[in-house]
Copies of this chain bind each other. A is one copy, B any other.
Amino acid sequence: MNVISFLQQTIHLGPETEADLARIIVREQFPKNHILVRPGQYYRRLMFVEEGLIREHYLSMSGKDTTYRFHTEGNFVTADESFIDNQPSQYTFETLEDSVICSISHADFETLLRQHPEFEQLHILVMHQLIREMKERITALQFQTATERYESLLQSQPSIFQRVSLGHIASFLGISQETLSRIRSKR
């Protein structure tokens, strides 16, 4: 699914708008295990995953690496601290598969919103979806057991288990790799 087709699902794009988009969108191909953004980096671009998988993770002071979330094809991604607050990213973004990523700069994004107000609609829609997902995530972490969270993930994104190592999934669920392994062995 490429960005343009994706956008057309939600908003109508006139030929002029499409031309504008084509001018500002950068399409890049990255190999597996490529680091897109590192902690401390200013990365003020809005990305869209056309193909592949990005892992966003956090390095604690003790050096432990914890997956914040996975971003799969057909989704928008930003280094929030940079894109929203113009601050250095706290998180690392890396590809876990060969990936195709389209992106536009923050400045171009702002211009786009000003010149084509129909994108405002979409912008809000994307933020709403993000808020919805985050709320579910918070409640899951707050009052579900590790096993329940595992079952939910299995339900909602079964394919992730074929694509990502269990260590990364464990830290995403907020548990150790060994605990995840034991949960899985009991069924």
Q: Which A residues contact B (CB, under 8 angstroms)?
A: 58, 60, 64, 66, 68, 80, 84-85, 120, 123-124, 127-128, 130-132, 134-135, 137-139, 141-143, 171-172, 174
Provide the main secondary structure of the chain A interface. Answer: helix
Give CA–CA (A142, B171) in the complex, Å. Answer: 8
A131 pairs with B80, CB closer than 8 A: yes
Minimum distance in angstroms from A108 CB to a CB of chain B: 17
In the complex, which of the residues B68, B120, B124 contacts A139, with contact meaning CB atoms closer than 8 Å?
B68
Report chain B residues within 8 Å CB of A128. 84-85
Report chain B residues within 8 Å CB of A127. 124, 127, 131
Minimum distance in angstroms from A174 CB to a CB of chain B: 4
- Top 3 nearest A-B pairs by Cβ distance? A141-B141, A134-B134, A142-B174
Minimum distance in angstroms from A35 CB to a CB of chain B: 20
Give CA–CA (A68, B138) in the complex, Å. Answer: 8
Chain B residue with Cβ nearest A175: B142
A135 pairs with B80, CB closer than 8 A: yes
In the complex, which of the residues B85, B123, B124, B131 contacts A130, with contact meaning CB atoms closer than 8 Å?
B131
Chain B residue with Cβ nearest A125: B84
B138 pairs with A137, CB closer than 8 A: yes
Report chain B residues within 8 Å CB of A172. 142
Question: What are 12 A-B contacts with C-beta separation under 8 Å?
Answer: A60-B143, A64-B143, A66-B139, A68-B139, A68-B142, A85-B128, A120-B120, A127-B127, A134-B138, A137-B138, A138-B141, A143-B171
